[in-house]
């Protein structure tokens, strides 16, 4: 089963780099505008999918450049925050 996520970023460049990394990992991912109900920012988000491997949280997050604003999982019609680094 595929789990569906949206990641938002502090810059378009961060989103583009994350998207490239996900595609390189062989994951289905695409760039899109940030959904309004996630943020008032009009920047770029990455919509991506991760194979559910039976773990409670299959997402492994690496953010060496500190560019990720947050990552949410789409659960039904709502979002579950998976990653929101403190500043």
Partner 1 sequence: MNFKAERIHIAIAGGIIGIISVALVLLGNPANMGFCLACFIRDTAGGLGLHRAEAVQYIRPEVIGLVLGAMILSMARGEFAPRGGSAPVTRFFIAFFVMVGALMFLGCPFRMVLRLAGGDLNAVVGLIGFVVGIAAGVFFLKNGYSLKRTYKQTMVEGLSLPIVQLVLLILLVSAPAFIFFTAEGPGAKHAAVIYSLGAGLIVGALAQYTRLCMVGGFRDIILFREPKLLIGFCMIFLTALIGNLIFGKFHLGFADQPVAHTDSLWNFLGMVLAGLGCTMLGGCPLRQMVMAGEGNADSAVSYLGLLVGAAFCHNFGLAASGKGPTPNGKIAVIIGLVVLVCIAFMNTFGKKEERS
Q: Decide: is 22 part of the binding site for partner 1 (CB under 8 A).
A: no
At 47 the three-state DSSP class reads strand
CB-based contacts of 82: which residues, under 8 Å, 6+ apart?
Answer: 5, 57, 59, 61, 71, 72, 73
* CB closer to partner 1, 53 vs 82: 82
**Beta carbon of residue 54, minimum distance to partner 1 (angstroms, whole number):** 26
CA distance 56 to 37: 25
Q: Decide: is 61 part of the binding site for partner 1 (CB under 8 A).
A: no
Site for partner 1, rule CB under 8 A: 6, 9-14, 16-17, 31-33, 35-38, 40-44, 65-67, 74, 77, 79, 87
């Amino acid at each position: 089963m595929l789990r569906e996520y949206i990641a938002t970023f502090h810059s378009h460049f961060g989103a583009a780099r994350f998207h490239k990394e996900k595609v390189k990992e062989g994951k289905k991912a695409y760039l899109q505008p940030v959904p309004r109900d996630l943020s008032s920012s009009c920047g770029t988000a990455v919509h991506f999918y991760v194979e559910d491997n039976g773990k409670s949280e299959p997402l492994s997050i690496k953010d060496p450049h500190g560019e990720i604003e947050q990552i949410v999982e789409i659960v039904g019609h709502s979002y579950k925050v998976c990653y929101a680094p403190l500043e």
